[in-house]
């Protein structure tokens, strides 16, 4: 590995949060195989990209904080709208993930003086995604020991609240990652976390999930 | 003095019907507000001589207190005024007047307590919104304002003129429109007490676009409000069909290449890429006759397995 790549280690026992499609386990990776190219919501900051053999590299996005996990999935700036639908909420959950081994991560937490271009990309919207995907692909190709990337993007907007993306061809599902807590988003703690994140990210939630009980219908005109 | 003068009782000139009546027990609103009592307040002067009558100060006090009570105010200061006017020669039925005043003040206090109780009860039953809910209420309000400002909303009369074959003008129009709304064949939003109909749901013939009723029905089934449906329909949110730009390989440029170097080269590599796809309004997809693109977007909103994906 080149000495010029800054890295950091998230040790075994490190916990992160992830928002995941409940059709698959929270520790699984999105294979990005056959993703819908007509769907701008299907691409993200560091995906899709392929390995040297042309195979899409699966990814799993994590946040140090639940809000960060939402910020990198359902509440991204690059979605173009600031809403989360009832269907999306019903199909997703939030989980706590614990690392079962040390994870070596390319450290993209940079300051603007040292890396103005990279810093600018990380703080930009969806127009920066193609360049960031190329950056991810380049680092993945050149540094075969790294398990992923860690960065502090504009979506997190809080010091010390970083995002992590893990590469699915480097991290073993259900071996390197342990699911230590799962919550549905449409009720209980998961719904509270969703509401917290929506407020922090200035997203709108469906009325049906905002008010309940005697408060229902407060925003109706009728 | 006129024998029927209402102050007679207070001055002791004649039996004191008012004092006796007020002192005989708790007074009621109907007692206080009866015309005879109110008229008494204006009768402080002798109609013949024009002179202020002895004991008129008690009438003033009772009158002020009564007015306060009737206005829902506390009869504050009445007792002080009473004390200050002790220099005025006592009248025989002062005790009655005091009792009358006390009754009035008790009544006033009871009204005040009742008012407080009502406020406390109302606060207890009022919706308690936390910060997250307040944020959502604000977001929904902002969206509603945006729609009102940007989206043409037709009145019932305007809609009836556009749909003469479906809605007959006259008394049955409201019922007909309610039927259309109930069957999800028409989207209506409530603005204060009136119904408004988004123009963007209508096609060139003035009919609701054929692709919309299944969307309205599924959205209602899932729990969306008409305003939410309208926001989805009218706000930019549907991506155009431009392919996603995947990450491309960068050739190595030496061992000393830094992250910043890689970032610069990545930016340069994508400099001539087509711009990120614009977002369009789903309603605009319908207007452009891109019905399949509309259905695709509706299915992304409401779920892939819903009936909105079926060709209509």
Asked whether the predicted pLDDT for residue A5 surpasses 50, the reply is yes
* Cβ pair B300:A39 closer than 8 A: yes
Whole-number Å distance between alpha carbons of A46 and B174: 54
* Cβ pair A131:B266 closer than 8 A: yes
Whole-number Å distance between alpha carbons of A128 and A121: 5
- Kindly give, in sequence order, each residue whose CB lies less than 8 Å from that of residue A34, ignoring residues fewer than 6 positions away: none
* Least confident span in A46-50, A146-150, B68-72, B225-229: B68-72
- Kindly give, in sequence order, each residue whose CB lies less than 8 Å from that of residue B101, ignoring residues fewer than 6 positions away: B61, B62, B65, B78, B79, B82
Would you write out chain B's pLDDT as a tens digit for each of its 312 residues?
A: 333 333 333 333 333 333 333 333 443 333 434 434 434 444 456 667 777 666 666 666 666 766 666 665 655 555 555 555 555 554 546 776 677 778 778 877 887 888 888 877 777 776 666 888 888 989 999 999 999 999 999 999 899 888 877 777 666 888 889 999 999 999 999 998 899 999 999 998 888 999 999 999 999 999 999 999 999 999 987 665 556 677 777 877 777 788 999 999 999 998 888 776 678 899 999 999 999 989 988 998 898 755 554 433
**Torsional class of B146: left (φ above 0), alpha (ψ -120 to 50), beta (otherwise):** alpha
* Cβ pair B276:A129 closer than 8 A: yes
* Cβ pair A133:B247 closer than 8 A: yes
Nearest to B177 by CA among B205, B203, B156, B198: B156
A199 contacts on B by Cβ (under 8 Å): 131-132, 135-136
* Cβ pair B250:A222 closer than 8 A: no
* Cβ pair B133:A39 closer than 8 A: no
The SS3 of residue B255 is: coil
A115 contacts on B by Cβ (under 8 Å): 258-260, 263
* Residue in chain B nearest A195 by alpha carbon: B132
* Cβ pair B249:A83 closer than 8 A: no
* Residue in chain B nearest A42 by alpha carbon: B244
Task: Supply the pLDDT for residue B309.
Answer: 46
* Cβ pair A117:B273 closer than 8 A: no
Whole-number Å distance between alpha carbons of B95 and B88: 15
The partner residues of B201 in beta bridges, in order of sequence, read none
Q: How far is A72 from chain B (nearest CA, A)?
A: 18
A1 contacts on B by Cβ (under 8 Å): none
Q: What is the DSSP letter of B277?
A: P
Q: How far is B149 from chain A (nearest CA, A)?
A: 17
Identify from B122, B123, B127, B136 which residue to disrupt to test chain A contact, counting A C-beta atoms within 10 A and taking the largest count.
Answer: B136
Of the candidates A85, A135, A214, the beta carbon closest to that of B301 is on A85
**Prediction ipTM score:** 0.83
Q: How far is A170 from chain B (nearest CA, A)?
A: 18
């Amino acid at each position: 590995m080149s000495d010029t790549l800054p890295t950091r280690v998230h040790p075994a026992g490190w916990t992160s949060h992830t928002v995941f499609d409940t059709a698959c386990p929270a520790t699984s990776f999105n294979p990005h195989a056959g993703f819908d190219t007509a769907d701008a919501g299907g691409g993200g900051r560091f995906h899709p990209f392929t390995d040297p053999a042309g195979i899409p590299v699966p990814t799993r996005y994590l946040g140090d904080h639940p809000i960060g996990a939402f910020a990198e999935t359902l509440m991204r700036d690059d979605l173009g709208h600031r809403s989360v639908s009832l269907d999306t909420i019903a199909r997703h959950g939030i989980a706590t993930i614990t690392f079962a081994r040390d994870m070596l991560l390319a450290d993209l937490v940079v300051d603007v003086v040292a890396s103005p271009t990279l810093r600018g990309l990380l703080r930009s919207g969806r127009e920066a995604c193609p360049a960031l995907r190329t950056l991810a692909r380049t680092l993945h190709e050149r540094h075969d020991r790294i398990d992923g990337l860690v960065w502090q993007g504009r979506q997190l907007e809080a010091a010390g609240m970083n995002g992590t993306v893990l590469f699915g061809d480097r991290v073993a599902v259900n071996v390197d990652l342990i699911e230590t807590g799962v919550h549905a988003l449409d009720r209980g703690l998961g719904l509270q976390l969703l509401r917290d994140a929506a407020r922090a990210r200035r997203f709108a939630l469906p009325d049906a999930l905002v008010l309940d009980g005697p408060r229902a219908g407060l925003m109706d005109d009728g | 003095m006129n024998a029927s003068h209402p102050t007679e009782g207070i001055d002791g000139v004649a039996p004191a019907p008012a004092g006796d009546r007020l002192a005989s027990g708790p007074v009621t609103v109907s007692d206080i507000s009866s015309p005879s009592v109110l008229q008494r307040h204006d009768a402080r002067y002798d109609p013949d001589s024009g002179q202020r009558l002895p004991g008129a100060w008690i009438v003033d006090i009772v009158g002020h207190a009564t007015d306060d009570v009737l206005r829902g105010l506390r009869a504050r200061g009445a007792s002080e005024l009473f004390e200050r006017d002790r220099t005025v020669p006592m009248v025989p039925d002062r005790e009655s007047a005091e009792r009358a005043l006390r009754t009035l003040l008790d009544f006033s206090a009871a009204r005040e307590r009742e008012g407080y109780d009502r406020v406390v009860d109302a606060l207890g039953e009022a919706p308690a919104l936390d910060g997250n809910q307040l944020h959502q209420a604000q977001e929904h309000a902002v969206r509603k304002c945006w729609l009102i400002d940007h989206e043409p909303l037709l009145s019932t009369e305007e809609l009836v003129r556009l749909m003469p074959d479906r809605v007959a003008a006259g008394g049955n129009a409201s019922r007909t429109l309610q039927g259309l709304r109930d069957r999800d064949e028409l989207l209506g939003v409530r603005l204060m007490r009136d119904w408004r109909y988004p123009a963007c749901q209508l096609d060139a013939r003035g009919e609701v676009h054929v692709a919309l009723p299944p969307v309205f029905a599924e959205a209602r089934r899932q729990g969306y409000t008409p305003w939410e449906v309208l926001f989805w329909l009218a706000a930019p949110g549907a991506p155009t069909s431009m392919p996603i730009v995947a990450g491309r390989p960068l050739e190595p440029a030496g061992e000393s290449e830094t992250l910043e170097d890689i970032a610069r080269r990545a930016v340069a590599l994508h400099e001539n890429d087509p711009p990120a796809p614009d977002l369009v309004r789903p309603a605009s997809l319908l207007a452009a006759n891109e019905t399949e693109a509309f259905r695709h977007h509706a299915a992304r909103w409401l779920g892939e397995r819903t009936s909105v994906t079926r060709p209509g």
